[in-house]
Structure 1
Amino acid sequence: MKYRRLGRSALQVSELGLGTMNFGPATSESDSFAILDAAIEAGINLIDTADQYGGRLGVGATESLLGRWLAQDPSRRRRIVLATKVHEPMSEDVNDRGLSARHIQQACDASLRRLGVDHIDLYQMHHIDRAAPIEEIWQAMDRLIAQGKITYVGSSNFPGWFIARANEQASARRGLGLVSEQSLYNLIERRAELEVIPACQAYGVGLVVWSPLAGGLLAGGDSDPDGRRRSESSVATAAAYAEQLAQFGRICDDLGETPSAVALAWLLQRPGVSSAIIGPRRRDQLASVLRAPELRLDAETLARLDDIFPGPGPAPEAYAW
């Protein structure tokens, strides 16, 4: 496994991170533990979760599962970069959601209890909250840092303008600000190249990619190795991209590599990417992508991929003169 700095911070994270959204509701606890063990053995140190994960088992269930895994061997905590998220509804309570200072404080305390740890390495805002003033958000995050409950702050699903606004406000407060943005990005979905990635690069924010295999569409024969269940919309997307996916498969055959490895290798050669989150439901799915950090695609292959899956181009040139 290889490691990269998380944005402009000095923190080193593995080029592949382990997403845990399926742990509990889709993958049994014993199988989840086996995947976690295998990931650590392979050198993956970024473990990503969220307070809302749990599916049919209820919100918080995945964090609780991770807490039980960590409790089995206290040395595991020192070996991982533990990341979780705040924003999504945790109950019917009108205040048990969003990015108010009250909810951030209470949600962090609840995550710490479920995880059984005294601090979270990377605390990520799961989504933009247009009702929450950025000053209020940073007040809450600064307090958590001062309390030793979190170390770094990241965002997820933020637009470029809010990444800029958040870090400008943090700078005015003499704070480090956001060190990472977790965004949807893959060969099929490249809109992050318009504004999000340029904003990340300008502010030294590391890009952590979710759904790098487009819900399994870029994985060839494996239906769902990046942890996104096939939905009606993804089936429709597969039909819409059938010809491009067939061409992609031929490139992978020419290289003698799996589609998953090629799609991940492409991401890891994109500017600004710190890590790509994989969400395997089985150990064999994890094993199938571990080669990706070692795979370097040559200029000809990268050009062929751009021809098949063209990006939107930079903003504003992509939509204006």
Structure 2
Amino acid sequence: MAGKISYIGSSNFAGWDVALAQSAATARHFMSLNSEQSLYNLAVRAVELELVPALRQLGIGLIPYSPLHVGLLTGALESAAKGHVRDESTLERIGAHRDQLEAYEELCRELGAEPAHVALARVLHNPAVSTTVTGATTSEQLGSNLGAPSVHLDGEAIERLDRIWPGPGEAPQAYAW
């Protein structure tokens, strides 16, 4: 190994952190950031407010982690109804998001797609996203996740997902309008 750095990434930076890092790298003629890894999924969309616009402007790719929201977006409501979910914290999260999960899982059935595939496809639909960390714990889960790119989400499906799991919008419009 030559000890050369090919790519530089950050994790859990705010939009202004990324901008400062890029500015400092440019001023010193250093290699700049290529990617940012952050929590991002249908249920947790805070990065859309400032981070995603900053990444897009700076040409940096987003690599979301937990795109299935710790299993909540994998059909958890249906699994719980079948008695397959017994973990208390998961049952609490299902209870907290029951209305959204009912609408989400119904939409997935209408689309004829697995809920996990729809959740991954929605995250991958964001132009700032380069790839995602799925967090699969078994080879079966990993194999299943590979079906996500085949899910086509048209404009209507995206709009319905955004109504079920609303995001914050992008700054500055989200602040003022």
Deviation at 1:175, TM superposition (A): 2.4
What secondary structure does 1:215 align onto? coil
**In the alignment, structure 1 residue 287 sits paired with structure 2 residue 143:** yes
Tell me what 2:57 maps to. Answer: 202
CA distance in 2, matches of 1:316, 1:255: 33
What secondary structure does 2:43 align onto? coil
Cα deviation 1:58-77 (Å, max 9, x = unaligned):
xxxxxxxxxxxxxxxxxxxx
Q: What TM-score do you get using the length of structure 1 for normalisation?
A: 0.50
Q: How many residues align?
A: 169
CA distance in 1, matches of 2:151, 2:45: 21
* Higher strand proportion (structure 1 or 2): 1
Deviation at 1:288, TM superposition (A): 1.3
* Higher helix proportion (structure 1 or 2): 2
Deviation at 1:177, TM superposition (A): 0.6
Q: Return 5+ residue gaps in structure 1 as ranges.
A: 1-117, 119-146, 224-229
8 Å CA contact retained: 2:113, 2:151: no
Cα deviation 1:22-71 (Å, max 9, x = unaligned):
xxxxxxxxxxxxxxxxxxxxxxxxxxxxxxxxxxxxxxxxxxxxxxxxxx
> Which of 153, 170, 175 is equivalent to 1:314?
170
Distance 1:167 1:242, change over 3 A: same
Tell me what 2:26 maps to. Answer: 171
Deviation at 1:271, TM superposition (A): 2.2
> Which of 213, 220, 228 is equivalent to 2:75?
220
What secondary structure does 1:278 align onto? coil
| Amino acid of the structure 1 residue aligned with 2:50 | E
Write the mapping of 1:37-52 to structure 2, written as runs, cut at 5 A.
Answer: none
The percentage of aligned residue pairs carrying the same residue is 47
Deviation at 1:306, TM superposition (A): 0.9
**In the alignment, structure 1 residue 158 sits paired with structure 2 residue 29:** no
**In the alignment, structure 1 residue 256 sits paired with structure 2 residue 112:** yes
**In the alignment, structure 1 residue 301 sits paired with structure 2 residue 157:** yes
Tell me what 1:110 maps to. Answer: none
**In the alignment, structure 1 residue 270 sits paired with structure 2 residue 137:** no
Tell me what 1:74 maps to. Answer: none
What secondary structure does 2:6 align onto? strand
CA distance in 2, matches of 1:238, 1:320: 33
What secondary structure does 1:208 align onto? strand
Deviation at 1:314, TM superposition (A): 1.2
> Which of 15, 23, 42 is equivalent to 1:187?
42
Deviation at 1:235, TM superposition (A): 4.5
Q: Return 5+ residue gaps in structure 2 as ranges.
A: 81-86
8 Å CA contact retained: 2:74, 2:116: yes
Q: Whose RCO is larger (CA < 8 A, sep 6+)?
A: 2
| Amino acid of the structure 2 residue aligned with 1:291 | G
Deviation at 1:149, TM superposition (A): 4.5
| Amino acid of the structure 1 residue aligned with 2:16 | W
What secondary structure does 2:70 align onto? helix
CA distance in 1, matches of 2:127, 2:92: 30
